[in-house]
Structure 1
Amino acid sequence: MQTLSILPLILCCCIAFGHSLSTEFGLLGCFVDTATRDVNGLDGWSTIGPYSVTWSSGGTVTLSSMTVQLCSEICAYGKFRYFGVQFSSYCFCGNSYGRHGKAADSHCNMACAGNSAQICGGADRNSVYRQIYYRQEGEYFTLVDRDYVNVTSTSGPFYRTEQPVRSLVECVYRCEADCQAVLFHLDACHLLRFPVLPHELKTVAGKFAIRV
């Protein structure tokens, strides 16, 4: 795995994903669930943070106040990468999803029990989200595969673009303050607030690197 330092041409091999209870999230889509739970990271847990986990298979937090934000907060206690909301009030956490395949978006059609303006899956259908954690600033960057999500950030624009930029190293140098990742293509440097790519950059080629 190739890594870049903000110090000139220093290489290392390492990767880390920071954690904070302060997160944002992006919708990945509607996915099929069965009795063999798709998002099953809470299997065997009895509690997560202050919340009780029910069901011996798969594990879920069930609340009459469930919202998308609440499920995100619950799963952040376990540093899970993904969460799924289902049947209005179920919250599932996990580090993988999609084993049963994708469902039509129209199958996720049930309002969240705690917020009727939001969708919380459907019958045997999860609305699956990617957790996007705020992380402390690190010194190194590593080239990684692309991971696209639909993100609407509550803290301002998801990314900004600077150009002309002559190289990936120069692009990385410009990644300061709240910047966690870069996408460099031709002479354009996209500076991202989170280590994932929004769908609006899906057609942009180039090299994607995240801070580690």
Structure 2
Amino acid sequence: MGRHFDNELRDLKFSLLAMAGLVEEMVELARQSFTERSDAKADRVIALDHNVDELELSLDQACIDLLALRAPFASDLRLLASTLKIVPELERIGDHCTNIAKRVKFISAYPHILTAQQIEALGEATHSMVKRAMDAFVNGDAELAKAVIADDDLVDEIYVQVSKDMLQIMLQDPSAIERASHLIILVKNWERIADQATNIAEEVLFILEGVNVKHPYLQKRES
């Protein structure tokens, strides 16, 4: 029974990593679709979202079956509980990538209204967070997970500055309002992907250390 359970946990991890690999590919393709103004890469992102959705349903069912039939405890229970939280975070990242791709398809035919490097920096920082969050999971690296959580503030700073710049452009040039509106939604999706990567890193810390690091302001109030 123990050997079978170990094999089932191993298969679950492999499936989760396969889903994470697809999502990382979507994040990178979404970034490239903007940088290269590539409708083809945007279309690829949208197509991959269906695969991610299928994996979400499969992993959800696998976790439920293991919880119901194997009654795990200690670290195995934390792994299953956290997987049930990581899976929807990955699915949401896929959704945000799809939203970015759809915006790219609209704005790619128009000239830039903002320095492209600013948005590219946001995409690069966010992609790095997603990749390192899953690397922390694979390698059992608590310090890397903590670094991902810390980097969310950097992404937030870039997002706020880009949003301010675009609002200023909209005030100065009403003809740019439609394009700027799409860009604001695009960068908001990047910022949300960073939030999801942070959530994954927090779950990794829970798996490794059994400590819940969400909502630190509540923990400070209780202490």
Give TM-score, length-normalised by structure 2: 0.25
Return the structure number with greater strand share: 1
Return the structure number with greater helix share: 2
Give TM-score, length-normalised by structure 1: 0.25
